[in-house]
Structure 1
Amino acid sequence: MTKKDEENVLPYLSLIIAMVAISFSAIFIRWVDKDISPLVVGAYRQTFASFIFIPFLMKDNFSEIKTLQHRSLTQMSLVGIVLGLHFGFFISSVTKTSVAAATLLATSHPLFVVFFGWLLLKENVSQKSQFGIFLSFIGISILFSGELLDNSGTYQGNLFALISGILAGIYFLAGRSLRLSISLPTYAFVVYSISAVTLWCSVLLTNANYYPLPQRDIGIFLLMAFVPTLLGHTLHNWALGYLPAYVVSVTLLAEPFGASLLAWHFFNELPTTWVVLGGVICLGGIFVTLISKSKPQYTDSVVQES
């Protein structure tokens, strides 16, 4: 293979590795002791994830953070709170519904980026995007209705996953302008740290047990920080430098499939007919929405919905 071939193949290979890494997020959550609160899981994950970026910031002695304007810090703090809530709801959803349903509904965030961009920022939405959003909501409705008809007891988990998707949409939309002027390590460190503080406050308010915890679970929290966050999202961001943004955006839709396959392998868990039917329609709508955007604005993978 020539050097040029390697340059052409490596970005796509990195996307495959990234999607496998990100797909493990829900699996790691399931591996955690069931007696540990999802809020504790999220708090540890985000704490460790914020630590990852400290070495990058030490290279210039935290100079960018020191020069951040008060307005930017306030905006990043609000974004961090939203991110913390997102993880709280997503992790809770994985413990209350199927991995397939949780990751599918959390991956719906591009719909809400477009919707809130239109509603709040008066951004133009093409007819294709409108059709994609409509199609996705039909899929989500089928998923919810079918699970209710089956009386599977997963309604709360599905609702939490959908809320996490909405919060992820708000996160991406709110952080969009900030990421244009602030480097990835600085942005991620501040936002992750605030999200961790948000989750720790939730832990204290709910009197959840957070210490001592089994070493095995601490190890899983570290895996959550390093595999989906450092490996998965870093490779995603790297690929953005070599591939069209819409290509990277569309690959995010692979997470529900990857996570579902892993759940089948590790837990013998198969999605219900309603999840499959609603999921295919929903993902189809998201796909239409993504490709109809000439310049997608929500491809920054500092944080995915999971």
Structure 2
Amino acid sequence: MSQLHVPQGRISQPASIRNYLALAAGLLVIGASGILVQVADAPGPVSGFYRMGIGWLVLSVLVVGRGRGPQMSPRAFGWAALAGLFFGLDLTFWTSGIMLSGPTKPTLLANTTPLWVGLGAMLLFRERHSPMFWAGLVVALSGAALVVGDDLLQSPELGLGSAFGLVSAFFYSAFFLAAQRGRAQTNALSFAWASALASALVLLAAAVILGQDLSGYSRQTVLAFVLMGVVIQVVGWLLITYAQGHLPASIISPTMLGQPVLTGLFSVLLFGERFSTWEVLGAVLVLGGVFLVHRSKRLRKDRHDPPR
């Protein structure tokens, strides 16, 4: 975002600290997102609808506050709508998984997104990957199999919740690939506004099709909806967007792997959630594999970047 631009080569020490604080705060915010879904105790698509709907209203205020409407060509709006469709499906499965098996495991498995983005880039854009990428893929999927398999042995419902986390990662990967195309044609705020609108409509349709109530919830649930829309969807997005504009991807990507760790910590402290040895081992493998995938992409980028 242009108003957050800091001239290169003139970043003071306090500004540098602000960048890391923004990243840390953004990580804390998104780490709490799964917790709020469980606190809301509403059907997944309903929670997702209010998160995106309220978030879209706040983004609309920001768009109007700039004195101009969304600056988008029809093509850019189409990409944003497609990305929003995928993100709505991502939230549908992720929130539903949380209501079945708790916040931690669906969030962990949803963070396998880099694997599917890498595979999608290979199939769609003919992007080649290093042996480190494939090693990371095997390690992460082995960990995912441990988590889902252990849940299935305990309860089919738990296994389904974890599986929904994997499905959500697939749709988030599709969102990411569509967003890459759309973001090249418009500014970040306009893209977020349009994609949030599309996501809200998808989640509303899912809730209606599944016969889920959109009203009649307790004050606690309504408060959770508002926090998801304002804090998670808008404040979290602003913090991460700011950090992405001021810190290298080599710092941000591994740091974001802390989301499922924080979610698990919050879940243990607030809900007394417990994990088996196999689940912990699977989680370590998933995060380790995803880190290898991130690392392989960074090394590949470094080899192709011109010297500075």
- Of 30, 41, 57, the residue aligned with 2:38 is 30
2:20 equivalent to 1:20:
no
Instruction: Say which is worse superposed, 23-32 or 119-128, in terms of deviation.
Output: 119-128
Q: Displacement, 1:93?
A: 0.6
Match in the other structure for 1:135: 139
Q: Contact 2:130–2:296 at 8 Å: present in 1 too?
A: yes
Instruction: Say which is worse superposed, 267-276 or 24-33, in terms of deviation.
Output: 267-276
Q: Contact 1:89–1:163 at 8 Å: present in 2 too?
A: yes
Q: Distance in 2 between matches of 1:117 and 1:81?
A: 19
Q: Distance in 2 between matches of 1:125 and 1:132?
A: 11
Q: Contact 1:38–1:88 at 8 Å: present in 2 too?
A: yes
Q: Contact 1:126–1:292 at 8 Å: present in 2 too?
A: yes
With normalisation by structure 1, the TM-score equals: 0.89
Q: Displacement, 1:203?
A: 1.7
Q: Distance in 1 between matches of 2:297 and 2:88?
A: 28
Q: Contact 1:246–1:295 at 8 Å: present in 2 too?
A: no
Instruction: Say which is worse superposed, 256-265 or 179-188, in terms of deviation.
Output: 179-188
Alignment of 1:1-306 (within 5 A): 4-33=12-41, 36-65=42-71, 68-151=72-155, 153-294=157-298
Provide runs of 4+ in structure 1 moved above 6 Å: none
Q: Displacement, 1:56?
A: 2.4
Q: Displacement, 1:161?
A: 0.8
Q: Contact 2:26–2:237 at 8 Å: present in 1 too?
A: yes
Q: Displacement, 1:98?
A: 3.2
Q: Contact 1:43–1:197 at 8 Å: present in 2 too?
A: yes
Instruction: Say which is worse superposed, 70-79 or 244-253, in terms of deviation.
Output: 70-79
Instruction: Say which is worse superposed, 81-90 or 68-77, in terms of deviation.
Output: 68-77
Q: Across the two proteins, how many residue pairs are aligned to each other? A: 291
Q: Amino acid of the residue matched to residue 34 of structure 2? A: A
Q: Contact 2:77–2:191 at 8 Å: present in 1 too?
A: no
Q: Displacement, 1:295?
A: 8.3
Deviations 1:83-102 (A, max 9, x none): 11111111101111132211
Q: Distance in 1 between matches of 2:300 and 2:154?
A: 37
Q: Displacement, 1:54?
A: 1.3
Match in the other structure for 1:300: none
Q: Distance in 2 between matches of 1:98 and 1:212?
A: 23
Deviations 1:111-158 (A, max 9, x none): 111111111221121221121112111111121222223447411101
Deviations 1:154-194 (A, max 9, x none): 11101111100111111101110211221111101100001
Q: What residue ranges of structure 1 are gaps of 5+ in the alignment?
A: 298-306
Q: Displacement, 1:237?
A: 1.2
Q: Distance in 2 between matches of 1:72 and 1:94?
A: 32
Instruction: Say which is worse superposed, 111-120 or 228-237, in terms of deviation.
Output: 228-237
Q: Displacement, 1:219?
A: 1.4
Q: Distance in 2 between matches of 1:81 and 1:251?
A: 27
Q: Contact 1:147–1:154 at 8 Å: present in 2 too?
A: yes
Q: What residue ranges of structure 2 are gaps of 5+ in the alignment?
A: 1-10, 302-308
3-state SS of 2:178 partner: helix
- The 1:206–1:99 alpha-carbon spacing in structure 2 relative to 1, beyond 3 Å, is closer
Q: Distance in 1 between matches of 2:299 and 2:198?
A: 29
Q: Contact 1:86–1:164 at 8 Å: present in 2 too?
A: yes
Match in the other structure for 2:306: none
With normalisation by structure 2, the TM-score equals: 0.89
